[in-house]
Amino acid sequence: MIGGYNLFLLKGVVVYALVALGLNVLLGYSGQVSLGHAGLLAVGAYVSAIAADRLGVPIVVALVLAAVATALVGALLAWPATRLSGHYLAIATLGFAIIIQKALYELPGLTGGRNGLAVPEASLLGLDLQVAAFQYWFALAIALLAFGFVLALVRSHVGRGWVALKDSVPAAAACGIDVPRYRVKAFVVSAALTGVAGSLFSLHVGFLSADSFNLELSIAFLIAVVVGGMGSVLGAVLGAAFLIAMPALLVDEAELQEIVYGVAIVLVVLALPRGLAQLAEALPRRRSAPTPPPQPDADADAWTELTRANEPPPPALVVEDMRIAFDGVQALDGLSFSVEPGQAVGLMGPNGAGKTTVFNVLCGYYRADGGTARLGEQELLGRAPHELARAGLARSFQQALLFQDLSVRDNLLVGAHSRFEAGVVGAGVRSRRSRAEERGAAARADAVLAVLELGDRADVRARELPFGQRKLVDLGRAVMGRPRLLLLDEPAAGLNSAETARLGGLIERIRSELGCSVLLIEHDTELVMGLCSKVVAIDFGETIATGTPAEVRRNPKVVEAYLGTQPEEMVGTDARG
Amino acid sequence: MLELVVLGLAAGSVYSLLALSLVLVDKTSGVVNFAQGEIAMFATFVSFYLLTSGGVAALPAVLAAVATAVAIALLVERFTIRPILHRPEAHAVIMTAGIFLILNAGAGWAFGSVPRGYPTLLDIGALRIGGFTIPPPQLLTLVTTAVLCLALWALFRFTRLGLAMRATQQNRRAAMLMGVRVGTVFSATWALGGVLAAIAGILIAPITGLSPQFMVPVLVSALAAAVIGGFGSVEGAVLGGLLLGVAQVLVGSYLSLNFQEAVTFAVIIAILVTRPQGLLGTTRQRPV
């Protein structure tokens, strides 16, 4: 059997791995820094110990209470977190942990203040948990459950949502992710895991002292996550093992240990940005079901799949008198236009005319100063981007704005985010609803991959794609959510003529077969002429012409806007848009 | 009460100096150096040993301290921060946390953790105002900070380096295209941060005593000061430090010392939630 000291170390690894797991969910997945997890651990430990001591509850109940209490504290801490990121968040969490530590001192009646708190003995099903081996197995069992839950969670739409908001907040919001709420969810899950760890920690050490839950401990957890590997569940275990094993293996002096930790952080961040788990990535990766080779009818099958769950025909979009000013510059000045149901409308104008601003206002990134935009009966203005995604809006971005750390397939799956109803718990326990939703989305993603002819790149990380393919994935992502109105921002920018022609065909087919309306910002006149039945030309934030593409092209005001001159003044020129 | 305010201003001016170093570095390279306090601590220790064991006079000891801080800052910036600037901000936060650990534990191992007294370097005497006296350490702090702020202002306003720094802060890419050596600006800014940090350490050590941990609460307060003033604002850092110093002293006297730190942070969090740009910072609406 394992010796006493090694068993003690193992127990420590289990507890720290749980905290690292929690912190990883927060930092590795949703990209939020916390310098205060020692405070959360303290909450879990003290709640568990006090519940067992004062209320006499059995250990499992104390554990649940600890998880719930810490989750609540996490939600509280998350409140400032929704508006902060990076170093601001680090500071806020640091402050939080300090406040918790002070509170522990100032409530001696409850926590023993400076004298500390003895953790009462616990037993489970007749087994004395003071016996190290029993305690170890208990902790391990809890940890395995927790790891299973988190693994399922990070592979679900929730986990994808976290990575998405870390990589690109605007794109995540456009896909229907309520970014602030998801940030809070990450905090709550992270805190709950840390609370469970806190309860196990209290058993492990037997005596709680407020001093031990200090900044150095918070940094230690950060070390475990970074060295182990951010965004990797395995990394939590590796990092915890590193944290516990290093001092035991190398040196005895506390200060030298800390120096080793510090050096380890520096080296790992420099050389192994994805931590020790990066080394494990060299092993062959588990792939999702292999994409079958394209068959003759694959294209038709794909379109059948995509149109399978078609919505009724979309309503009209009517924009009236839209206004917005930035620092005194009137970017949109009473803009009005409409898109009939199922129509493709081109939005044209010289640079700086306000075209992307129209999109940003329609999609909820900017708040208009005046005007209305109605999609059927619904007013679009004043609503948040993720709500608009649910209302049937989808957009593509000039810069593609893909989620760099996700695969192509996962990028597409995020596009369907607004269609997922399962919550965190459902996703974590892989409920029937969650699994059904995942299957449905996966089928749709496969269809989109087939249509885009990107089936062989499905598992490639988005950051490794060439630009032309990124734009395609961006388009595919927008289609995943079954939109009623598709807003495309210069989809052909950066594409060569062959790619552009193919893109035009795709967009036309999307419009006609999926039955959505299209609003297109595009400079490529051929594309606009081919796709759009109506063109709206704008300049200085106002509509200057509306009509068929041919009419608008010849319109003297449009020519003047682009070329700055009257057509008659140009010798032998056919007015070009 | 006035006496408390003045004492608060003295402590606050040290926070201002350290906050300044944080904000300057952040504005230029986009990184908050959580190890700034430890750099100050190391530098102060160096001066301490020179003053006591080495029998060195005050000025050379201070210069040696400043040089130490500058050296550490330059090494850290060049070899651990610059390579990861393009990565997400979290990486830099963690990197500086690692540097924090190395310096903190290194000092403990090299110098021992027993606190000791640190002499006031310049006896410019005490100052009598109204009914009370400002003690020499506090007076020195106030005067030094004022002089340094003035020097910084002049640096930014009148020198080419200052101009290059401001340009890099506002638009790094444009500055590069205009021929500004951005790498040099990074190094210079971090070095400047080191100078301010070293002086902050030397100024506050006589008041708090010298130990490997002595700068940790000062850093925490400097972070708070930067947040109050608005992280993007140099004037804000100074203002935030002074306000915080006064607030802390008042809370400490009228409520309790233990609450001091907690109240500080409660205020910080409240500001971060309601007005993250602080008093003098600006909000930016980011287009897609």
H or E, element range at A533: none
DSSP state of A350: S
CA distance B27 to B21: 10
Q: Supply B239's token pair.
A: 């203002």
Instruction: Please name every residue paired with A155 in a beta bridge, in sequence order, or none if there are none.
Output: none
Question: What average pLDDT score do residues A571-577 get?
Answer: 48
pLDDT digits (tens, 9 = 90+) for B92-102: 888 998 899 89
* Domains, chain A, ordered by start: 13-213 (no CATH), 317-569 (3.40.50.300)
Weakest-pLDDT range from A430-444, A495-509, B162-176: B162-176
- pLDDT the model gives residue A139: 92
Q: Supply B33's token pair.
A: 């150096």
- Choice between A270 and A300, residue whose per-residue pLDDT is larger: A270
Contacts of A362 in chain B (CB under 8 A): none
- Residue in chain A lying closest to B217 (CA): A98
- C-beta separation of A386 from A418 below 8 A: yes
- Nearest CB partner across the interface for A226, out of B94, B261, B269: B94
Provide the residue ranges of all domains of chain B, joining segments of one domain with +: 2-112+121-274
- pLDDT the model gives residue B59: 87
CA distance A515 to A529: 20
Q: Please name the residues between 109 and 128 in chain B that touch chain A, using a CB distance below 8 Å.
A: 109
- C-beta separation of A444 from A416 below 8 A: yes
pLDDT digits (tens, 9 = 90+) for A102-123: 888 878 777 777 778 888 888 8
- pLDDT the model gives residue A264: 83
Which of the residue ranges A223-227, A459-463, B138-142, B251-255 has the most confident prediction, judged by mean pLDDT? A459-463
Interchain contact A92–B (C-beta under 8 A) = yes
- pLDDT the model gives residue A577: 40
- pLDDT the model gives residue B139: 82
| Positive or negative torsion for Cα A251, A255, A261, A266 | negative
pLDDT band at residue A250, thresholds of 50, 70 and 90? low
Q: Which residues of A258-293 are buried (b: 16+ CB within 10 A; e: fewer)?
A: bbbbbebbbebbeeeebbbbbeeeeeeeeeeeebee
Q: Is the pLDDT at A97 greater than 80, yes or no?
A: yes
pLDDT band at residue A47, thresholds of 50, 70 and 90? very high
DSSP state of A465: S
Q: State residue A310 phi and psi, 5-degree precision.
A: -65, 145
Chain mean position to CA A107: 39
Say if the Cβ atoms of B89 and A85 lie within 8 Å.
Answer: yes
Say if the Cβ atoms of A106 and B101 lie within 8 Å.
Answer: no
Contacts of A315 (CB under 8 A, 6+ apart): A341, A375, A376, A377, A484
pLDDT band at residue A411, thresholds of 50, 70 and 90? very high
Strands A378-379 and A542-547: unpaired
- pLDDT the model gives residue B284: 46
- Residue in chain A lying closest to B259 (CA): A102
Say if the Cβ atoms of B265 and A95 lie within 8 Å.
Answer: yes
pLDDT digits (tens, 9 = 90+) for A198-212: 999 999 998 898 888
Interchain contact A325–B (C-beta under 8 A) = no
Q: Is the pLDDT at A333 greater than 50, yes or no?
A: yes
- pLDDT the model gives residue A91: 81
Q: Supply A131's token pair.
A: 């016996």
Q: Please name the residues between 19 and 38 in chain A that touch chain B, using a CB distance below 8 Å.
A: 27, 31, 33, 35
For chain A, what percent of residues have pLDDT higher than 90? 38
Interchain contact A95–B (C-beta under 8 A) = yes
- Residue in chain B lying closest to A78 (CA): B273
- Residue in chain A lying closest to B256 (CA): A106
In order along chain B (288 residues), what is the average pLDDT of each group of 10 residues?
A: 84 93 89 93 93 85 94 95 84 88 90 84 68 78 88 86 83 83 90 95 90 90 86 84 87 72 75 74 47
Architecture of domain B2-112+121-274: Orthogonal Bundle (1.10)
Contacts of A215 in chain B (CB under 8 A): 216
For chain A, what percent of residues have pLDDT higher than 70? 92
Which of A27, A29, A32, A91 is the best residue to mutate to test the B interface, defined by the most B CB atoms within 10 Å of its own CB? Answer: A91
